[in-house]
Amino acid sequence: MSDNMHKDETGQRRVCRKCLTAEMEEAAYFENLRAYIESLDEEVKASHAAYMERLALCRECGLLLDGMCRACGCFVELRAAMWKNACPYDKWTAETDKNSEAF
Ligand code: SF4
């Protein structure tokens, strides 16, 4: 477990939201980001199908650089993880009918 992760009183792993990226090792930073995405509430998470489709489109996009979108500055995995988000260039859109299970 990295320095920016800790366990709460129930023993669950929690992400430290007070750490600055400059204070983290790169691997710890990405572990923190992935843990944050996984910990999103089910109500805000995109469906699995939408998440995978969005990331496939980002992978093909010339604006993707090191996991970040150069149009909006977001990490695309975080942006794509939420059903209400959309690509700034409309390459993928917000989900309007989220009936399927979150990823
Ligand atoms: S969010 Fe849109 S503009 Fe940004 S990398 Fe993905 S497809 Fe490209």
101/54 same-domain check: yes
31/54 same-domain check: no
Give the pLDDT band (50/70/90) at residue 78: very high
C-alpha 80/C-alpha 78 separation (Å) is 5
Per the structure, the complete domain to which residue 13 belongs is given by: 5-38
Q: pLDDT tens digits for 31-72?
A: 889 999 999 999 999 999 999 999 999 999 999 998 999 999
First to last CA, the chain: 23
Interval between CA 38 and ligand 1 midpoint (Å): 21
53/83 same-domain check: yes
Which of 54, 76, 84 for mutating ligand 1's site (highest number of atoms within 8 Å of CB)? 76
Calculate the CA dihedral of residues 31, 36, 38, 40 and round it to 10 degrees.
180
- pLDDT the model gives residue 49: 94
Which residue's CA is the closest to the ligand 1 atom numbered 7?
Answer: 58
C-alpha 37/C-alpha 6 separation (Å) is 16
47/10 same-domain check: no
Average of pLDDT values for 9-37? 78
89/72 same-domain check: yes
pTM of the model: 0.78
61/29 same-domain check: no
- Structurally, the chain folds into a number of domains equal to 2
25/65 same-domain check: no
